[in-house]
A = this chain, B = another copy of it.
Amino acid sequence: MSNYQNLTLTEIAARIRGGVDTLVIFHRHPDGDAVGSGFALKLLLEMMGCRVLCSCDDELPERLAFLACDQQPSIKAENIPADFSPAQIITVDTASSAQVGEQYGRYAGRINLMIDHHARGEMYADGWIDGDASSAGELIYRLSRELLRTGRIPSIPTEVDRLLYAAISSDTGCFRYSNAGPDAHKAAAQLLEANFDAADINHRLFGVKSHKLLLAEKLGFERLHLFADGKVAIVDMPMSVKRQYGLTDEHLETLVDVARGLQGVQVAAAIRQPSDDGVYRVSMRSSCAVDVSAICASFGGGGHVKAAGCTIVCDEGIEAVVEMVAKVLIAAL
């Protein structure tokens, strides 16, 4: 049992201090929700007289640079100036100390607040955890309106609304997933009253792919294996092909969507080889009643009912892994 308290919106807003040096931390491998909500909180705190830096174990990915807009030269924890000694530390969208990452070692015990929407996270500070919220962006949206209501900020700049819209859109897959419920849409409706180009944000988040990513999808399409009259689709990506085309694992994160998106497919899997040994990373997706988290659990993995993953060790090559995964998926139908 954690000694930390889960606070309400009113309580957390009251706890946030103005006028002090503040560090806003978000999770490593930052996504649009982390960056958007982190930088929106930074701007809100600056309006309250804080000097604020955002900090992350990893550098800002280039495709998300448009969300930070030169607010600071680097977010990477090791580049935070040594003389910046925060009196207040708030984490956003960061469900566990492991997600805080290496910098947790530096700040453990000094984190004042955590604001997060992951239901099964670890409490490593007093926090506001709402597992029903779509995104950290939705929480910072509510916080921003509470700060306005209580007169702690005089107004909400368009830039804050732009970042929060981007955060919510990012974590809901542009309002496509089941977490885009009434509250996410209500927040978007209110945020869109400000004047920014939402279509451009969505294009940057969801419409743009690197040449390598498009190449990976093309190769994935060519490597589709279909079973059970096309209800099961598996795409594999062996190390030899990755090497031939200069692909790394970051280009293969959406590979499973190639299989899942083919008409008629009910269960999909992507199998990739992170290195030359016999270890394979498997991602599974379900578009029907099949629970892929149960299937992945049988291989020592886990996840959600419709999206899960596991690691399979096999010395007989990737073809054998494809066959093994096909067998359990066909049986599960």
Contact = CB atoms under 8 A, between A and B. Distances in A.
Interface string A183-215: 101101110110001111011001111110011
A178 interface: yes
B174 A175 contact: yes
A218 B209 contact: no
Contacts of A258: 214
Interface in A258-274: 258, 260-263
A250 interface: no
A287 interface: yes
A127 B176 CA distance: 32
A176 B189 contact: no
A61 to B, nearest CB: 12
A104 interface: no
Contacts of A262: 208-211, 214
A317 interface: no
Given A182-B193, A215-B221, A258-B214, A175 B203 contact: no
Nearest to A193: B182
Nearest to A200: B287
Given A203-B287, A211-B263, A214-B261, 4 more contacts: A174-B175, A182-B192, A185-B186, A214-B262
Interface of A: 63, 169, 174-178, 180-183, 185-186, 188-190, 192-193, 197-200, 202-203, 206-211, 214-215, 217-218, 221-222, 257-258, 260-263, 287
